[in-house]
Structures are given as C-alpha cells and as structure tokens.
Structure 1
Amino acid sequence: MKHKLCVLAVSGALSAWHGTTTAATAVTLYGVLDVPIEYVNRVAASAATPNAGGSRFAMPGVGGLSASRWGMRGTEELGSGTQALFVLEGGFNADTGAALSSGLFSRVAMVGLKKAGVGQITLGRQTTSLLDGLVNFSPLRFAATYEPGIWWMGLNYRESNMVKYTGQFGQVQAVAHYSFGTGVPALAAGNLLANGGAGENPAHHKDNTAYGASVMYLDGTFGLGVGYDRWNPAITSGQTAKVEKISVGGSYATGPLKFSAGYRWNKGDFANGNTFLRDDYWWAGVNYKATPALGLSLAYFYADVKRAAATPTSAPTSPPNMQQYTFLADYNFSKRTDVYLAVGYAHNGSLSFDSAATAYAFNYPSMAGQKNMVGVITGIRHIF
C-alpha cells in the first residue's frame, strides 16, 4: 500500500486577495525497486563490436519486470468538483543506486487540472496517448525486459513539452496530446532519430513536434483499444523526418485466464522521403492465475520488417522477420513484494528486438551472424 501524507493547506499570500481559505491536499510518495540477475547468450560486447562477445551473467541496471523508480503525486481540492494535480517521477539503476543521466524527473513531470465528468488537462513531460490506450493489452504489462515495448511504442513513448487531455467516461477512456518538442535524447549518428529529440526549436517550430490520440474500452471481461502516434524528428534543423504508428489491441478475461492480442503498423521516413523502417508488429499472450499468489504468462511477439535503411541515402533492405517467445512466472508474497522468473527466446534478432531502432535501450546487441538469443532472468520487486 502506498504511503499517503495528508496535510491541511492554508493559503498565505493569496488570502490577501481571496480571504482566508483552506483546501485539502493529498500527497503520495511511491516507487518501485526491481533488482534482477540475468543470463543471456550470444550477446555482443557492444553494438560497435559485433564480433566480440558471448554469454553474459550479470545484474542488469534495468529491472526484470519494472524499471526502478520513485516519485510523488498529489491533488488539491479546488471546489465544484475541480482538482489540481501533479506528478514527479524519476528513474534510477537499483543495482548501483545511480540516478539516470536523463534527469531527476525524466520519467514524468507534469501539473494539471481535473474536473469530474469533463476530464483532465496536464502539462509537462508525460507518456503518449498511444501508450495510454494500448498498454492494458500488453501481455507482460510493458515489462522492462523480454517484451519489445519500445519496438512497439517507439523511443518517443515519453515526450517533453506536452499538453495532454485525458477523459474517463464510464468504461471508455479518451486521450489526446500534442508535444511542442519531444525531448528524446540524441542517439547514434546515422540513425533516423539522431538529434531528433532535441526539443523545441523557435526557428523551426515543426522540429521534433509530436501528436496522437487513443480510445480504449475496458471492463472486467472485454477490452479494446486503438491509437495513433505521429512524431516529426529533425536530424538537421528545419528538416523534419516523419514517424507514424497505428495500433489496435484487445483482451478477454474469463475466470483465472486472460487473453490479449494486437497489431501495430509503423512507417518511419527520413526528411528526404526515403524509408528508415517500415514494419508490422503482432503480439499475443495468455495470463493464468494458477493460485491467488502465482501468476503465469506466455507471450509471442512478431515483427514483419518490410523495409529498413541505416541512412537517408542507403538502399533499403528486407531483413529476416524477428520473433520472440517469453514465459513469465510471478509469485506474490503480498500486494507489494513479489519474486519472478522469466525466460525469453528470440529468433532472427535480439531479445526485445533490441537494435538501432530501439537505440539498444535493453543492452542486447547481436553478435555477428547470430540467429537466436536466449535469456533467463530472476529477481525481486518491491512496490512502496
């Protein structure tokens, strides 16, 4: 259970204008600690040295199920069904305790207003509409490892300088957003996304902008979501590329079983119109509650890569289609503490489809000539 600190906020300077008032303010401190140990075979020492590498047995910085993080969120009752709200959330590597180099609150930093029956408007760094509308149909809930979440959603699944609307109407959620400059960190030279997340550019207002929307229906049995995402990364100032995604997902739950499946269309073009990546991504999974404490999951992921190119002038190729199977066993000691074991098998690529398209975010660069990769990870997760 998250720990809540409730305080009575008494206005100070504003009382000179509006009189003495009081408003109930709730602040929640929360976080996740997830520390795994992993074995993975046929992994290169780095993306730049594909001929060197082998098996790796280590404690990775990223968690097995969840990225380690801490944060705070709060609300203030403003009256007439209106609330002010904020969220600040940062990530860290639990194996070393080091904060992420991307910033103190690089995961979420937003403030907004919410009104019952109308929805909420939030401003700041947030997740995209595509993620909000589809994540409930992810077989492993966007697990930090052994699920190709970044391949599915894109590196821009968190964006800075965003204004976002979220409305909840019974079982239906509607989300829309616009980013004035995504703020995704610069990546390796030659990649479509290199410097494409530099943020706002007053001289060229379209650079690095993004927008999208999603609609989701979810009840205790059925679920269906559809979403669209557009990003305009600028490798060179004033020359915007284009990355578009459309995705649909669904789920069905009965007794201890839940089935989920979905599809994502993606097309990324360089500023000169040549294709960087065109692929179709499919997934399917089943979750089984074997006991009240033990959950078992089996998932399949498939990427049909139509065309891919490394630079704006490269001839496109059609690499082998990537596949991955993942099995997960998760045992809950309580609502806050669990242990897990996951096994992943990737064919024609790396685990989680790790590649230049994901900026090697999972640290699974492929060895030259390798066709398959196997990983086994186990760890402890605590939620507070």
Structure 2
Amino acid sequence: MLRRQAALGAFAAFLSVPVYAQSSVTLYGIIDIGLSYTNSAQTSVVRGTPQGGSQFALTDAHATGLSGSRWGLRGSEDLGGGLNAIFVLENGFLANTGALAQGGAEFGRQAFVGLSNPFGRVTLGRQYDPLIDFVQPFAASGSWAGYMGAHPDDLDNLTNTNRINNAVKITTAKFGGFSAGALYSFGGVPGSTTQNQIWALGAGYTGGSFAFGAGYLNARDPNVSFYGNTPNKGTATANNIGSAGSSTSPQSYPVYAGYASAKTLEILGAGASYTLGSAVFSLAATNTRFDHLGSASGPNPLGYSGNAVFTSYDFNVRYNVTPSLLLGSGFDYTHRNSVKGDDGAKYLQLDLAADYLLSKRTDVYLLTVLQRALGTDSLGQRAVASIAGFSPSATDKQIGVRLGIRHKF
C-alpha cells in the first residue's frame, strides 16, 4: 500500500512539473565585399560645376554589391495551438571597415517582434514595407543585380535604402498562391495623428511559371519620417535625402535630393515574371511622387512647388547557364516631369551580371552598370548620371563595375 501511494505521489509530482514550449534562435549572416570601379565619381562642386574622375575602391556590398553585409538573430517560440512568438534582430555593417551601416543604427536592417500562426503574422518594430515584399523581387536589383542595379539613386526604394520605424505590419500566409500585407507607422507627434505617419499595402500571386505583385506606400513629411529615420539624420530643417555638394564634398542623391520639401511621398509599383526553362523574364514598373513641394517638411532652396513625378520601367532576364552559373541582363528607363518649368529628366540604364557559385554558401560575381542622364535634375543643374551606391558622376554618363565575393552563414 505504501509503495502504491509513493508511486502515485511521484506521478502527481511529475504532472506538476511545467512543460516548456519548444523554442529556437538562429544566428545568420552575409559577408559581401569586393573591388568597385567607376569612370567618373564626383569629388566636389566648384562654382556650380561638379568635379571628379575615375575611382577604384574596396567596398562593402551594402551600396554596390549583391547583399549588404549583415548578421542577425532570428527566433521562434511555440506557444501552442499553432501560435508562435517570433522576432528578428538584424545588424548591417561595412565589411571593409567594420563600421555600422544604416546611419549607425545597431539593428538598422530589421528589429521586430510579433506573433504568427498558419494564417499569417503580425509584427512590430523597424521593418521592410510591402513594396519590398511584393514588388522588389521583379526588379533587376531585387533579383540578381544588387544595389548598383537599382533605379537611379534608388528613387523608388526598391532596394531598401530606407526601412520603416515604429511600424505595425500584417502579412498573410499564401492561400491558393495569393498573399497580402499592410503596414502602418505611427508618426508619434503630439496633437497630430497624421504628421510623419507612413502606411503601405501590397499583394502578390505565385502559381506555376507566373508570378505577380503590386504595392503602394504613402509617407507624410517624408524628409523626416522616411529619409530621416536613422541616427545620423537631422530634423525638418535639414535635408535628410541628400545634398548639393560643396567645394570639398560631392553631391548626394541628385536625382531627387532637391525635393526634401515634399509634404507627401507616394510610391506605386507592380511587377510580374514568367519562367521559361532556365530563364526568368521579369518586368517592374513604379510611379514615385514627391507631392506638395514647398511645405515645411524640409528645406526648399530652389523654391519648388507642385509635384515631382518619376516613372520607371525595368525589364530584365536572368538565365541559369548551369546550376552554378547565372547570367543577368536588364534595361531601366526613368522619366521625370517638368518641375518649376524645367525640361524634366530622363535616365537610361543597362545592367549586366555574372554570378558563379563556388559552393552552396559562397559565390563570386561581376556586375556592370552603364547609365546616361538627360535633362535637368532636382538640384537645378544639367542632370548627371548617378548609379545607386556610387558617388554621382561629374558628367551625364557613368559606368560602374564590381568584382565581389559573398559568403552566407
């Protein structure tokens, strides 16, 4: 009898021990570094005229290569009933110097926590917007050309120049090939629920050989909310997009830096792809609007008013010659309307790439981008070529070449 009671007591004690749900944390990352060359890189602006020459540099891929160097932690905890707690902390860094990327933010690439179940997930923190999720994969830069293959100065943000702070994001799982997402970023300004707010929507479909995606982003006071959300950026009194350069420094983001006074930034994009054997043919189109120029959202030294509207068309194809060798080619055409009576601007860009896998985790690649600028850019000057990630050209033409090596862990 005593033995029986002891056994029952031991069994009851066993049942009282708490059962902990399964959890996992994964350390991951990418190191991407290489040699970059351009035939024309600005060094200064003298009496309104850009100066510069050719440049060789060892650079991290965050600005010119396939994948910006990073390390991150990704975790999940099973809460039962199909519900999971999830988080991502992802730091960007420059492999050539060890410095923090994303303006000095410790986890400037991503930093969020949330819940997921078989129907989708809800996350809160610093995140990518739905345009990145649903449209970026169809652009050359989001598929095989890297940051330097972005549309001029990454004007439509399809290559993640800017993330979204203070954001709540909902993303559905795929149902019959369809999925969707929505994001809202709180402005956090007392007395104004719309100042500095950002919201975005996106949806996509994948089925067989065909894929499609579309998205829309609306950012109020973008000079602060969208372009000024890293530690090295200032307030509405500073131009957080770029600069007009000086006698000791080059210009930055001349394609659209002059539009810091826009009250609203709107980006509408769509893309599609079709797989035919070893080839994937893709098309992406975006419409980027800097609306209501002349507001108090940012400086306006050139006295702009009205709207600056960019339209970009990106046609590209990638082809797997062998399982280890990928070739890519693409063409991008970007046009801007007339602002303050100027003649608008046009940018023509050709992207070429070869990527060879040495193993499942290591590859070497060669990227080449050629760009030609026409018209007048946002700084009121004769438009200069400006390949994303490189210093703008001192002329209307620019060639960028990069030989790099990438390792994933």
Deviations 1:160-211 (A, max 9, x none): 0000000022321200000013xxxxxxxxxxxxxxxxxx322433221100
**2 CA distance for matches of 1:354 and 1:295?**
36
**2 CA distance for matches of 1:279 and 1:158?**
20
1:147 pairs with 2:150: yes
Name which of 330, 345, 353 aligns with 2:370: 345
* Deviation of 1:150 (Å): 2.4
Corresponding residue number in structure 2 for 1:56: 55
Matched-pair contact (CA < 8 Å) for 1:73–1:86: yes
3-state secondary structure, aligned to 1:131 = helix
**2 CA distance for matches of 1:329 and 1:163?**
38
**1 CA distance for matches of 2:164 and 2:379?**
21
Deviations 1:58-94 (A, max 9, x none): 1123341111111010100011111100000010011
1:179 pairs with 2:185: yes
Corresponding residue number in structure 1 for 2:321: 290
**2 CA distance for matches of 1:59 and 1:355?**
29
Name which of 167, 175, 180 aligns with 2:172: 167
Counterpart residue identity of residue 364, structure 1: S
Matched-pair contact (CA < 8 Å) for 1:131–1:157: no
Matched-pair contact (CA < 8 Å) for 2:204–2:212: yes
Matched-pair contact (CA < 8 Å) for 1:83–1:115: yes
Corresponding residue number in structure 1 for 2:359: 334
Matched-pair contact (CA < 8 Å) for 2:222–2:262: yes
Corresponding residue number in structure 2 for 1:31: 29
Instruction: Identify which range, 295-304 or 46-55, moves more after superposition.
Output: 46-55
What TM-score comes out, normalization by structure 1 length?
0.80
Counterpart residue identity of residue 95, structure 2: A
Corresponding residue number in structure 2 for 1:109: 111
Change beyond 3 A, Cα 1:34–1:220: farther
**1 CA distance for matches of 2:79 and 2:317?**
43
Matched-pair contact (CA < 8 Å) for 1:265–1:279: yes
Number of equivalent positions: 336
**2 CA distance for matches of 1:286 and 1:378?**
20
Counterpart residue identity of residue 307, structure 1: S
Matched-pair contact (CA < 8 Å) for 1:223–1:251: yes
Matched-pair contact (CA < 8 Å) for 2:69–2:92: yes
1:207 pairs with 2:195: yes
* Deviation of 1:320 (Å): 3.1
Counterpart residue identity of residue 295, structure 1: L
Matched-pair contact (CA < 8 Å) for 2:293–2:307: no
1:69 pairs with 2:70: yes
Corresponding residue number in structure 2 for 1:321: 346
1:99 pairs with 2:100: yes
Deviations 1:303-326 (A, max 9, x none): 011134xxxxxx252333101101
Corresponding residue number in structure 2 for 1:269: 291
Change beyond 3 A, Cα 1:42–1:201: same
What TM-score comes out, normalization by structure 2 length?
0.76
Change beyond 3 A, Cα 1:295–1:332: same
**2 CA distance for matches of 1:81 and 1:223?**
28
Runs ≥4 in structure 1, deviation > 6 angstroms? Answer: 353-357
Structure 2 gaps, min length 5 = 1-15, 224-235, 238-260, 296-304
Counterpart residue identity of residue 109, structure 1: A
Over the aligned positions, Cα root-mean-square deviation in angstroms equals 2.8
* Deviation of 1:276 (Å): 5.0
Matched-pair contact (CA < 8 Å) for 2:265–2:291: yes
**1 CA distance for matches of 2:346 and 2:387?**
18
**2 CA distance for matches of 1:44 and 1:30?**
36
Q: How does 1:189-268 map to 2 (within 5 A)?
A: 200-233=188-221, 236=236, 241-268=263-290
Corresponding residue number in structure 1 for 2:249: none
Change beyond 3 A, Cα 1:325–1:47: farther
Counterpart residue identity of residue 324, structure 1: Q
* Deviation of 1:152 (Å): 2.4
Q: How does 1:127-146 map to 2 (within 5 A)?
A: 127-141=128-142, 143-146=146-149
Identity fraction in percent? 33
Change beyond 3 A, Cα 1:346–1:229: same
**1 CA distance for matches of 2:390 and 2:341?**
25
Deviations 1:270-312 (A, max 9, x none): 465733521111100000000110000001111011134xxxx
Change beyond 3 A, Cα 1:205–1:37: same
Matched-pair contact (CA < 8 Å) for 2:333–2:347: yes
> Which structure shows the higher strand fraction?
1
> Which structure shows the higher helix fraction?
2
Give the greater-gyration-radius structure (CA). Answer: 2
